[in-house]
A and B are shown apart, each in its own frame.
Chain A
Amino acid sequence: MAAVQGGLVDAKDEIDIKTEPTADGFGNNNASDSRVLSTPPGSSAAAGNNKPAAGTPEEQQTLLAVLQFLKKNKLSESAEILRREAGLPEDALDPKGTDGTGAGPGAAAGSADTDAGDASSLLSRVTVSSSAGAQAPTKAAGEDQPDVSVVLSAYSQQGDPALYEVYYSGLKRFIESVLDCHRAELSQVFYPLFVHMYLELVYNNHESEAKAFFEKFSGDQECYYEEDLRILSSLTKKEHMRGNETLLDFRTSKFVLRISRDSYQLLKRHLQERQNNQIWNIIQEHLYIDIFDGMPRSKSQIDAMSGSLAGEARREANKAKVYYGLLKEPEIELPLDDEDEEAENEEGKPKKKKPKKDSIGNKSKKQDPNAPAQTRIPLPELKDSDKLDKIMYLKEATKKIRLGSDNLPSICFYTFLNAYQGLTAVDFTDDSSLIAGGFADSTVRVWSVTPKKLRKVKTAADLNLIDKESDDVLERIMDEKTASESKVLYGHSGPVYGISFSPDRNYLLSSSEDATIRLWSLQTFTCLVGYKGHNYPVWDTQFSPHGYYFISGGHDRVARLWATDHYQPLRIFAGHLADVTCTRFHPNSNYVVTGSSDRTIRLWDVLTGNCVRIFTGHKGPIHALAFSPNGKFLASGATDGRVLLWDIGHGLMVSELKGHTDTVYSLRFSRDGEILASGSMDNTVRLWDAMKAFDDLETDDFTAATGHIHLQDNSQELLLGTYMSKSTPVVHLHFTRRNLLLAAGAYNP
């Protein structure tokens, strides 16, 4: 409706629309078009009243309305021309029936035939709305004129501001009176309705009414909307809204609710039997009601899924097929003795090609049907150094400790001292040999965790002098003189919020508030590239597990996929309503998950850029995301202190881990996925039994038709241990290849 405010609306459009057959009143399922004019109040009330299908009398009314409007604004020439062309008689311009235009237009239009009395009484109570010009409220006139004002009111707000409170209270009373099973579902309507009505009042400059409305009803809303309500309370004028992108998006996008058919029927019947179609109109315009057949959900179920800025996710948003399996590892035989390493490499290469041929077409046990094809997205091929790395990895993996609920990992905590609350990002290399910290003073520091010092490549002068033919040339090019435990990287001009090592340990990425992402070389410890694209702070960045690609997410509400050799992003993932605060790659590099301040988590396909899953349920901005090593599950942590587990394939919440009392900043699965570790601002690391949480999953029957989830309240059973640190919030967690848990944080006395 915002678009309709205060201007000369194109009358022609109105006419065209009105001549369309009135859409079914259950317009939510098909009223997907966002054209404001497409839901003229007149046609929406079709269900309630036997309104004649739009024909000439309607057109006549519209023309009359327009004519009156023109006259009112002293556009006499245009009025004259219109009158002549439309062939309207002179006396039709009688401004007799200028009713208050704020009436519920649907009610009035529909009731023109039958309930004229009601309509007129309603109309007479209503005062003028601002945008339709100064029209004196008069008693309802004869039958020919009421529709004029009704039509005009299509261009104005819905109803009288003073009556909003009445409508809302009426709805509240109704919902309190329904059966228990329906009440929980229908209560979902309160919050979006409240926000939209409030914003409508503010947008139309009814400041005092807006304030009164807010004071009266804001206390009734759910506790998890408190933050939003506080922001809303500071918005009292139209100008305030203009700068707030998030709220503007909220106004234009549809809030999604999932309601069972029975509850929905109840609501609809109630709203249409009375004349206060205000609420009905607002619901139709701003809410998308996803109706499902089945049992109404309970309060706890609804609470678990709600909390996001735009309601829940539509069911079809979570229906696309997601290839969550892992890519096939290239077959490199683990050498039994070390000397055969080189020989194995040779065999490793042609062997890699074989599995590809096998997997085409036949469903042998080698090909996982849920795994993407090897060539779905182009990935860099393995270099020799990568193969050596992989062999090291496999060797270490054999020495891995098997964790479980009875065998908890040891935790080694790396505390940053003297950081003065400036530590903003931490990352470990996969083999846990290096640790990097991003700081609020815009530096990036790299430390060596092992006794081996950090070495730079020698200067050109010295490189000239070395013997290039010697066997250990790769050692000789390193400069021993400047070897040190740590190195500092300067270059950013703002706090460094995201940091990520490349899998081959050659590069380090850092993203900062200065809107750039920098690629640093870990061989020369200098900056190589600055990637510019976000124009606003970049909150997080991560390299792909296969290297070469990386993602970043920032304040501009998009996440971008880059490749190290392109100066512009390859993919832009747009869809979130607020900042993207956390970005992670799936282990198979084909999908990217982003968590945002709008309290939703979205899973994106790298190949197409489409959003394939939307997960709602958190009640605060999401700060931590972690995939399980088998790629099937996702864990997420937010400022509400809860850790939620999601099944990616089905798109459903698996369980909810309660326990932390402050923001969860880091999550990590152990190497085999048995344990989930979570670190939080409340200075604790908690270990959860992931194996058990996902075990129950296998037996459940997820029809996913209704999206019902029965969350057991078994957080206590799943919690394996809580480990406190001495006032050091846990910023990062990392499992070594042998399943030792490393944690990092800055001491904060």
Chain B
Amino acid sequence: MSAPKTIPKDAQVMIQILKDMGVTEYEPRVINQMLEFTYRYVTTIIEDAKIYATHAKKSNVDADDIKLAIQCRMDQSFTSPPPRDFLLEIARQKNQTPLPLIKPYTGPRLPPDRYCLTAPNYRLKSIQKKVAPSAGRISVPRLSVGAVSSRPTTPTLGTPSVQSVSTKVGAPVSLTGQRFTVQIPPPSQTATTKTKTDDSGQIYFFSIFTNNPLCLFLFVSTATPSTPAVPNVLINPSLIGSKNILITTNMVSQNAGGESLKRKHEDDDDYDAL
């Protein structure tokens, strides 16, 4: 242990607490983490207590306010598992039903689709492009990829389709997901004008995940469209409840031509933009 005079008093107290609780081996960062937690917890409690005190029209915060604050906070964040008799009761009820029989030969045995994470979690906007090519701008499908709120997902692109696909799949989870839309800025190309209705472009995506699903970044880039070839969107097939892999075509019909491609924010009303 380094010289006491270089360690702040709070840290010394924390070291003593750890010693009293029998924790003898720990990394030095633990002290910082514990102090941070303590500070945050105490500040939250005191702030709550202050609110209660003002609500009760008291000028000072007293012990009752603190007690109330602690109690409310305990019920909210530091919940403990249900009591034993409650668990025994629900176990008794659950265990009374016989085990369900297994249907033979039904392919991968998964719950109903709404409880699975196998559905696409985005939909493609179809952009009606005018035939007249003006600046030769190539329109590109805008992919809205959202982590649907309240469900942990991996952004597997499922079957893209032009019509809107319901993306609210999965039973609610306590994660606070965020939904965001990625809009691909249309590359202003000075390439040859196009009169085709097809678009070409390869869309690659990398997904960089951090520990926290709240930060889900999707980086989409478009390659230079060269020829009006068959559009090729690389997607992963999704197994939707059947033994066969769902093989879909991936025609993404787009119109070349530029000025219609405005960022149509009003279309994204039903998704929160990040």
Write the residues of chain A forming the contact surface with B, with a CB cutoff of 8 angstroms.
Answer: 230, 234, 243-245, 248-249, 252-253, 377-381, 383, 441-442, 456-461, 463-464, 477, 490-493, 506, 514-516, 519, 521, 523-524, 526-530, 532, 535-536, 548, 555-558, 563-567, 569-575, 577, 606-610
Is B8 an interface residue when CB atoms closer than 8 A count as contact?
A: no
Cα–Cα distance between A460 and B159 once the two chains are bound (Å): 8
Question: Among the listed stretches B56-64, B104-112, B128-136, which one makes contact with chain A, having 4 or more residues with CB under 8 Å of it?
Answer: B104-112
What's the least CB distance linking B147 to chain A, in Å?
11
Q: Please indicate the chain A residues that have their CB under 8 angstroms from the CB of B153 in the complex.
A: 491, 527
Q: Please indicate the chain B residues that have their CB under 8 angstroms from the CB of A491 in the complex.
A: 152-154, 213
**11 more CB-based (< 8 A) A-B contacts, given A456-B236, A524-B239, A570-B97:** A248-B83, A460-B245, A464-B247, A493-B152, A521-B108, A524-B236, A528-B117, A570-B94, A571-B91, A572-B94, A574-B87
Interface residues of B in 219-237 (CB under 8 A from A): 232-237
Contact bitstring B150-174, A, C-beta under 8 A = 1, else 0: 0111101001000000000011011
Q: Please indicate the chain B residues that have their CB under 8 angstroms from the CB of A556 in the complex.
A: 81-82, 87
Quick check: B235 and A245 within 8 Å, CB to CB?
no
What's the least CB distance linking A536 to chain B, in Å?
6
Quick check: B83 and A245 within 8 Å, CB to CB?
yes
Quick check: B101 and A378 within 8 Å, CB to CB?
yes
Quick check: A570 and B99 within 8 Å, CB to CB?
yes
Q: List 18 A-B contacts (CB under 8 A).
A: A252-B84, A253-B84, A377-B99, A379-B102, A381-B104, A457-B237, A506-B108, A519-B110, A526-B236, A526-B238, A527-B153, A528-B116, A529-B116, A555-B81, A556-B82, A557-B81, A565-B109, A609-B91
Cα–Cα distance between A455 and B175 once the two chains are bound (Å): 31
Knowing A516-B173, A530-B173, A570-B100, the reply to whether A460 touches B110 (Cβ < 8 A) is no
Among A491, A523, A565: residue with most chain B CB under 10 A = A565
- Say which size band chain B's interface belongs to: 35 or more
Closest-by-CB residue of B relative to A243 is: B80
Is B90 an interface residue when CB atoms closer than 8 A count as contact?
A: yes
Quick check: A463 and B247 within 8 Å, CB to CB?
yes
Q: Please indicate the chain A residues that have their CB under 8 angstroms from the CB of B173 in the complex.
A: 516, 530, 532
What's the least CB distance linking B230 to chain A, in Å?
9
Quick check: B171 and A532 within 8 Å, CB to CB?
yes
Quick check: B246 and A460 within 8 Å, CB to CB?
yes
Among B101, B173, B235: residue with most chain A CB under 10 A = B173
Q: Please indicate the chain A residues that have their CB under 8 angstroms from the CB of B83 in the complex.
A: 245, 248-249
Quick check: A564 and B109 within 8 Å, CB to CB?
yes
Quick check: B102 and A380 within 8 Å, CB to CB?
yes
Q: Please indicate the chain B residues that have their CB under 8 angstroms from the CB of A535 in the complex.
A: 81, 174
Quick check: A567 and B111 within 8 Å, CB to CB?
yes
Cα–Cα distance between A260 and B18 once the two chains are bound (Å): 43
Q: Please indicate the chain A residues that have their CB under 8 angstroms from the CB of B209 in the complex.
A: 490
Q: Please indicate the chain B residues that have their CB under 8 angstroms from the CB of A573 in the complex.
A: 91
Closest-by-CB residue of B relative to A520 is: B154
Q: Please indicate the chain B residues that have their CB under 8 angstroms from the CB of A567 in the complex.
A: 111-112, 115, 171
Is B211 an interface residue when CB atoms closer than 8 A count as contact?
A: yes
Is B206 an interface residue when CB atoms closer than 8 A count as contact?
A: no
Q: Please indicate the chain A residues that have their CB under 8 angstroms from the CB of B81 in the complex.
A: 245, 535-536, 555-557
Contact bitstring B66-99, A, C-beta under 8 A = 1, else 0: 0000000010001011111001101110110101
What's the least CB distance linking B240 to chain A, in Å?
10
Quick check: A558 and B80 within 8 Å, CB to CB?
no
What's the least CB distance linking A297 to chain B, in Å?
29
Partner of A569, one of B87, B88, B94, B237: B94
Knowing A441-B211, A536-B81, A556-B81, the reply to whether A528 touches B110 (Cβ < 8 A) is yes
What's the least CB distance linking B30 to chain A, in Å?
13
What's the least CB distance linking B189 to chain A, in Å?
24
Closest-by-CB residue of A relative to B67 is: A239
Quick check: B95 and A459 within 8 Å, CB to CB?
no
Knowing A532-B171, A557-B87, the reply to whether A378 touches B110 (Cβ < 8 A) is no
Q: Please indicate the chain A residues that have their CB under 8 angstroms from the CB of B88 in the complex.
A: 574-575
Quick check: B232 and A548 within 8 Å, CB to CB?
no
Is B33 an interface residue when CB atoms closer than 8 A count as contact?
A: no
Quick check: A609 and B211 within 8 Å, CB to CB?
no
Quick check: B99 and A566 within 8 Å, CB to CB?
no
Q: Please indicate the chain A residues that have their CB under 8 angstroms from the CB of B101 in the complex.
A: 378
Interface residues of A, dominant DSSP: loop
Cα–Cα distance between A548 and B80 once the two chains are bound (Å): 31
Contact bitstring B187-213, A, C-beta under 8 A = 1, else 0: 000000000000000000001010111
What's the least CB distance linking A166 to chain B, in Å?
29
Cα–Cα distance between A245 and B81 once the two chains are bound (Å): 7
Q: Please indicate the chain B residues that have their CB under 8 angstroms from the CB of A245 in the complex.
A: 80-81, 83-84
Cα–Cα distance between A571 and B111 once the two chains are bound (Å): 16
Quick check: A607 and B235 within 8 Å, CB to CB?
no
Quick check: A464 and B95 within 8 Å, CB to CB?
no
Is B248 an interface residue when CB atoms closer than 8 A count as contact?
A: yes
Quick check: B211 and A493 within 8 Å, CB to CB?
yes
What's the least CB distance linking A554 to chain B, in Å?
9
Q: Please indicate the chain A residues that have their CB under 8 angstroms from the CB of B156 in the complex.
A: 524, 526
Is B22 an interface residue when CB atoms closer than 8 A count as contact?
A: yes
Q: Please indicate the chain A residues that have their CB under 8 angstroms from the CB of B171 in the complex.
A: 532, 567
Cα–Cα distance between A652 and B236 once the two chains are bound (Å): 53
Among B80, B83, B213, B237: residue with most chain A CB under 10 A = B237
Q: Please indicate the chain B residues that have their CB under 8 angstroms from the CB of A380 in the complex.
A: 102, 109
Quick check: B211 and A442 within 8 Å, CB to CB?
yes
Knowing A378-B102, A527-B117, the reply to whether A558 touches B245 (Cβ < 8 A) is no
Cα–Cα distance between A506 and B107 once the two chains are bound (Å): 12
Q: Please indicate the chain A residues that have their CB under 8 angstroms from the CB of B246 in the complex.
A: 460
Quick check: A378 and B247 within 8 Å, CB to CB?
no
Q: Please indicate the chain B residues that have their CB under 8 angstroms from the CB of A506 in the complex.
A: 108
Cα–Cα distance between A557 and B87 once the two chains are bound (Å): 9
Knowing A378-B100, A491-B152, A516-B173, the reply to whether A463 touches B236 (Cβ < 8 A) is no
Cα–Cα distance between A379 and B211 once the two chains are bound (Å): 37
Q: Please indicate the chain A residues that have their CB under 8 angstroms from the CB of B84 in the complex.
A: 245, 249, 252-253, 557, 574, 577
Cα–Cα distance between A309 and B246 once the two chains are bound (Å): 53
Is B118 an interface residue when CB atoms closer than 8 A count as contact?
A: yes
Cα–Cα distance between A607 and B98 once the two chains are bound (Å): 7
Among B87, B105, B112, B232: residue with most chain A CB under 10 A = B87
Partner of B152, one of A461, A516, A536, A571: A516
Quick check: A609 and B22 within 8 Å, CB to CB?
no
Partner of B235, one of A243, A460, A515, A563: A460
Knowing A490-B154, A536-B81, A555-B81, the reply to whether A565 touches B110 (Cβ < 8 A) is yes
Quick check: B152 and A378 within 8 Å, CB to CB?
no
Closest-by-CB residue of B relative to A488 is: B209
Q: Please indicate the chain A residues that have their CB under 8 angstroms from the CB of B1 in the complex.
A: none
What's the least CB distance linking A397 to chain B, in Å?
27
Closest-by-CB residue of A relative to B27 is: A421
What's the least CB distance linking B62 to chain A, in Å?
17
Cα–Cα distance between A521 and B117 once the two chains are bound (Å): 11
Quick check: A564 and B100 within 8 Å, CB to CB?
no
Is B274 an interface residue when CB atoms closer than 8 A count as contact?
A: no
Q: Please indicate the chain A residues that have their CB under 8 angstroms from the CB of B249 in the complex.
A: 460, 464
Quick check: A574 and B239 within 8 Å, CB to CB?
no
Closest-by-CB residue of B relative to A456 is: B236
Partner of B118, one of A248, A528, A563, A608: A528
Quick check: B248 and A460 within 8 Å, CB to CB?
yes
Cα–Cα distance between A532 and B234 once the two chains are bound (Å): 31
Is B250 an interface residue when CB atoms closer than 8 A count as contact?
A: yes
Quick check: A565 and B111 within 8 Å, CB to CB?
yes
What's the least CB distance linking A687 to chain B, in Å?
29
For the complex of A and B, 6 pairs with smallest distance between CB atoms? A609-B95, A574-B91, A567-B115, A574-B87, A556-B81, A565-B109
What's the least CB distance linking B242 to chain A, in Å?
13
Is B21 an interface residue when CB atoms closer than 8 A count as contact?
A: yes
Cα–Cα distance between A575 and B209 once the two chains are bound (Å): 39
Knowing A461-B233, A526-B156, A563-B100, the reply to whether A243 touches B74 (Cβ < 8 A) is yes
Quick check: A459 and B234 within 8 Å, CB to CB?
yes
Q: Please indicate the chain B residues that have their CB under 8 angstroms from the CB of A243 in the complex.
A: 74, 78, 80
